[in-house]
Chains A and B, each alone.
Chain A
Amino acid sequence: MNPRESESIISAAAGTNEGNQELRSRSELTAKEVMREVGAVLRMSETDAALLAEVEADPGEDQTMIINMGPQHPSTHGVLRLMLELKGETVLRCKPIIGYLHTGMEKTGESLTFMQGGTNVTRMDYLSPLNSELVFSMATEKLLGIDGDIPERAVWIRMLMSELNRMSSHLLFMATNGMDIGAVSMMLYGWREREVVLRFFQKVTGLRMNHNFIRPGGVAADLPAGWRDDVMSILDMLPDRLGEYDVLMTNQPIWRERLQGVGVITQAEAIALGATGPILRSTGLAWDLRRDMPYMHYDELEFDVIVGSYGDAFDRYAIRLNEIRESMRIVRQILDRVPSGDYRIQDKKVTPPPRARIDESMEALIHHFKIFTEGFKVPEGEVYVAIESPRGEVGCYIASDGSPTPYRMHVRAPSFVNVQALPHMMRGGLVADAVAVISSVDPVLGEVDR
């Protein structure tokens, strides 16, 4: 095998020449070979696996065992099922099996108007519903051509809610991660802190979860009186609590032993698998859509992108913990900058008339009725909009045929893609660490199955 000139770009940059062992450019490398080599995916259908399970056990010492973990397992974060091939306590291969929570939400989305679509997408990633709503609204606005006309106040409210949602989602991760590892008291603390954020959401949107608050054109309602004080009280309360987490977990030898070096994934693997969010950042790549492909006004704010260096479960834990701190920093900046003004676009096409007008004007009543029964027509076209959710890149692809309902609505769910990283992370690890690995990916099964 002669090394070809075109293949030596990488080593030429490094000033070395490995001859035959040179890394080939990725487009020429057969990924299938690589995947098979690392045993990434158990290439076996459920039927085959069932047949294999019936085969009489090999009396030799080197026998392996295929076991099912989940779908009903307390640590699988919902209904994730993992087929594990074990040799003793070592995981040889792992295959995630999903679909237990599939309710056809993308099909449902095709019969809901753009106005109603928010109620659907908000139920996908139920731990960061506002980010799902946001990406759906942004995609719709781009199709309508009004993405540049959203009132400033609405944009800043959206950013405020999005960041608070990132905090609540990561706080829940702290809770479930602690619970999975065995730090059960952490579960109570995490849920307690998250509840404070959810109480604010309830005050603003009326609901703790599944808000349908961010809608095409703006947000559903203005912030209630005294919202600044509420946010400030969250920001005042959290730093001490996060400090307690550090004492309880980050600096604790048992916690470190349990997570460091567990579930390692390399940067090349993460990119190849399309993993985003804390998983990608844990491998040392500073990739955050808020900074790298800014949307809304994130380019005007100051914040750091937290990266890890080992790509292990501890890095992913530490990244999320520090992202809570960064989000608090962002929220502080947002607090000073929320302007006064409209909280939704004054475009008669997408905005229903104010409630008071309906009592006075027949036209306003008709207008209101038309918007809520027929919806508004969205011009033909297709867009893909992506934002940074707590779990990575959440994208929304909408193809419109000019009617009031999306012709096709697809959500690129970060958890769905990230779950593919599980086999890589688990390979060669202990079955006891499998729980820590699942937890560190932080999948939301509502979003995986949609």
Chain B
Amino acid sequence: MTTEETATPATLHGCLLGDSRGQAVLFVPKSSYVSTMKKLVDDGYEMCADLTAVDFLTHASRTLPAGVSPERFEIVVNLLSLSKRERLRVRVQVSESDPSIDSLFDLYPGTEAMEREVFDMFGISFVGHPDLTRILMPEDWQGHPLRKDYAQGRIPVQFKGAAS
């Protein structure tokens, strides 16, 4: 990176554009999440390949570009442009106190199952999702397994009618 680039960090649609091992990463604030995604759809990112989340509870000191304040959760969206043959990763910080974010269902209907999975596994709710229910765990399950404070192997078996 040259000095000029460090002076004015690269941006796309007003969001910080970073680089992770040669892959483009866009840091989008939660407030402008959907509006930025709309612009990216028009930029030619036709497909949402993947949507997932990370719980940074035990790794709060991670490296983020200046100007992005770390929160507990991060939504990670991997976009794919079939026409330009490019990928772009969007990372959005989601706070622990308000674990919710707008749904991408209107833009990418394929995120229906992925957002349900994130809701199921992390307890992050998606505003505007048509059917936000558990997808992998049983409907009456307590807790969100992929959170870092959900211990492995120490949870009593909880199935309908089973003695725990």
Contacts and interface: CB of A to CB of B under 8 A. Distances in A.
Given A32-B105, A395-B50, A407-B54, A47 B139 contact: yes
A401 B62 contact: yes
Interface residues of B, number: 51
Interface in A1-44: 25-27, 30-32, 34-35, 40-41, 43-44
Contact of B49 (A107, A383, A393): A393
B130 A43 contact: yes
Contacts of A25: 42
B54 to A, nearest CB: 5
Interface string B101-128: 0000111111111100100010000000
Interface string A110-141: 11000000000000000000000000000000
B78 A383 contact: no
A111 B152 contact: yes
Given A31-B107, A47-B139, A106 B130 contact: no
Contact of A417 (B76, B87, B113, B152): B113
Contacts of A412: 49-50, 52, 78
Interface string A136-175: 0000001101000000000000000000000000000000
The 6 closest A-B pairs by CB, nearest first: A274-B110, A412-B50, A99-B136, A273-B110, A27-B41, A102-B136
Interface of B: 20-21, 23, 25, 38-39, 41-42, 46-50, 52, 54-55, 58-59, 62-63, 76, 78, 80, 82, 85, 87, 89, 105-114, 117, 121, 130-131, 133-139, 145-146, 152
Given A384-B23, A397-B78, A417-B110, 8 more contacts: A27-B38, A27-B41, A31-B109, A41-B131, A271-B82, A393-B49, A395-B50, A449-B136
30 contacts: A26-B41, A26-B46, A26-B107, A27-B41, A27-B107, A35-B109, A41-B130, A98-B135, A108-B152, A143-B21, A271-B46, A273-B110, A276-B49, A285-B82, A381-B20, A382-B25, A386-B78, A386-B87, A393-B49, A393-B80, A395-B50, A399-B54, A401-B58, A401-B59, A401-B62, A408-B55, A408-B146, A412-B78, A417-B114, A419-B113
Interface of A: 25-27, 30-32, 34-35, 40-41, 43-47, 98-99, 102, 104, 106-108, 110-111, 142-143, 145, 271-276, 285, 287, 292-293, 380-384, 386, 393, 395, 397, 399, 401, 407-408, 410, 412, 416-417, 419-420, 449-450
